[in-house]
Copies of this chain bind each other. A is one copy, B any other.
């Protein structure tokens, strides 16, 4: 079997160490991948490229169409564009899939039964990047919602639910206030949902939906929503499932896909072998499924679960007095590899 070329970026902050751990696991598991390393993020920004990514990196991405990306740091200042956002847009990655699942009792959580997948629209909304200063005192940002954008993401959510044997898709919007924009999202949700009689559907105003998600996440299955709500509420869901440090995310487009951790580059703990590689690893598992290496994906996932089940954890998950053992980033990867 020939190796699938993938583009890899080590990123900033804790990026390099969790990417190293992740790639070691993938190699040990026998993933048939040929990583091409590109340079993006802080160094590129500071070398004067305000997009954080150069043309040879784009060239690799356009060729491999599969991107495993560690967290990066965007320097402060209005001159720098978020690479996360520009990559999602440039590659047309319209769907951001964020599974948030409890691993109780191995990872402490108040919501042991939760298993929620957040399907976040990934290109529109306030992330369209249209922002301007009207006067010294008045600033505006444009929220953009389009029918094709809504159709793509809503259809993706229902197709995903069907494929995964999930029972219900819930829509979160604020269409009592944003009657046109969020109203459109809601309307398209109803229209397209009607084509999936096998999947139950309902919708909630995002405020009360968020409250219920935080309080009783086990009642949700798949939730689809515009970009910004999805950004905020996937962090909430991942954290109450166990930790934002453990959730991975798939950014899916018609041509390309990008896989990452949902957390950031955590510069405060960088280089100390403290970071949890699980978020990126869960992104990588989604990548393996995407490129048709389901068997390797399952092998990695099972070994990861076994590692957790034996109480082996990085510092963020480790709790004293719970027969946990505390490991560094690379030792955690080693423990996982030993269980492959």
Contact = CB atoms under 8 A, between A and B. Distances in A.
Interface of A: 74, 77-78, 82, 85, 110, 126-127, 129, 131-133, 136-148, 174, 176-181, 183-184, 206-208, 210-212, 214-215, 228-229, 231-236, 238-240, 244, 264
Given A210-B232, A210-B235, A214-B239, A78 B181 contact: no
Contact of A208 (B127, B176, B210, B244): B244
A56 B221 CA distance: 48
Contacts of A136: 147
Contacts of A178: 126, 131, 141
Contact of A126 (B74, B147, B177): B177
B140 A147 contact: no
Contacts of A74: 176
Most B CB within 10 A of own CB, among A131, A142, A233? A131
A132 to B, nearest CB: 7
Given A235-B211, A236-B236, A240-B214, A85 B140 contact: no
A232 B215 contact: no
A57 to B, nearest CB: 21
A107 to B, nearest CB: 13
A189 to B, nearest CB: 14
A15 to B, nearest CB: 16
15 contacts: A77-B179, A78-B183, A82-B177, A126-B143, A126-B178, A131-B178, A131-B180, A133-B180, A138-B146, A139-B184, A140-B143, A141-B145, A207-B231, A211-B244, A214-B239
B131 A179 contact: yes
B207 A132 contact: no
B236 A131 contact: no
B144 A142 contact: no
Q: Which 10 A/B pairs are nearest by Cβ-Cβ distance?
A: A211-B239, A211-B235, A137-B147, A207-B235, A214-B214, A141-B143, A78-B179, A141-B181, A131-B180, A139-B180
A85 B235 CA distance: 28
A63 to B, nearest CB: 29
A240 B215 contact: yes
